[in-house]
Every structure is written in structure tokens, then in C-alpha cells.
Amino acid sequence: MSIYLKLIWSYLKIGFFGFGGGYAMLALIENEIVTPGWITEKMFTDIVAISQMTPGPIGINSATYIGYVAPIKAIEGAGPLWGILGSILCTLVVVLPSFLLVRYAGHFIHRHRDSEVIEGIFRGLRPVVIGLIASAALILMNGENFGHTPDDVTVSIIIAVVALAVNLFTKIHPILIICAAGLAGLLLF
């Protein structure tokens, strides 16, 4: 199977089963992308960080990046055009299931919005989405994000807790908090 078919299959699975948005689908993306060896754990962590700084959802940003990197890595002598083709394919494929689901499910849900079955389905999906987001948090708690020594981990946790407290208890804009945390990391590491 060519690298493009493998990428299409992986991103179709991500698109169809990535309920709950970006963080909820991180575990699925990691399993489909890091496990086959298309990227390393460190690269995955970097993709998540960059996805938070760039416009667009994590799924689409990772699809664009992986679609570019994987063919160049897998095809001997492949140049940037092979990567661009992979980026376009992966980005379209990861969006396709959501587009189709919204297109057809929206009409169905609107027609049956008072149905107890539909309400039950959504009640069942809520805890699953919360679990997937918690799974994403655990995935991101690795040496790439928190450091490799106990001191690095301690400093990283302190920065995270201070940033959370500032966000919860002040009216400081989140962008300023992110910049301050980045500056603290730069100065402390």
C-alpha cells in the first residue's frame, strides 16, 4: 500500500472517530501517526504546540503537517511537491467525514430534536468526550513538555499552575499569560 493510501486511511479514521474536537482526538492522532513511525513523539508534541499557536483545529493542522512530512520521508528522492500533494490529501480527507456528518446528521437531528433517543445519545457522548480530553492531557504530560529531570518537572508544573491561577482569578488576557509562560520557560530553561 502506498504512503498516500496509508495516510488517507489513517485520516479517514481520525475524521470519523475524532469526536469532541482537537484535544479529544489527540490520542487517536498519536496512535495513527506516531505508532507507524511517520513522526517521533517529540515531533508530535511540537505539532500540538504549533497547532495551538496557528489558526485552525489540531486535526487539520496535524493532517497538513504529517501529509507533507510522511511522503518525503517514505518515498526515496521525493521533493516538496510530493509533500504538498500529501498535505492536500490528508487535509481534505480529515475534513470530509465531519462535512458529511454535519451535512446529513444536522437535518436528521433537527427533525428529531425532541426524541429521547437523540437526547440519550448526546448524554452518552458527553462523558466520552471528557474522557478523551483527559486522555489528551495525559498524553501531553511527557518529558518533551515537562523536562527530563525532577527539577525541570517541578519548574514546569509551577509555571502551569501559576498560569492556570492567573487565568482563573484575573482578567489578564490569555495571550499575555501564554507569552509570560513562554518567557518564564525561556529564562528558566
pLDDT, one tens digit per residue, over 46-79 is 888 887 777 778 888 888 988 998 888 888 888 8
The pTM is what?
0.61
Inter-residue contact 3 to 86 (CB < 8 Å):
yes
What contacts 38, CB < 8 A, 6 or more positions away? 66, 69, 70, 73, 74
pLDDT band at 20 (very low <50, low <70, confident <90, very high): low
Calculate mean pLDDT across residues 1-8: 86
Is the pLDDT at 175 greater than 80? The verdict is yes
CA gap 171, 71 in Å, rounded: 45
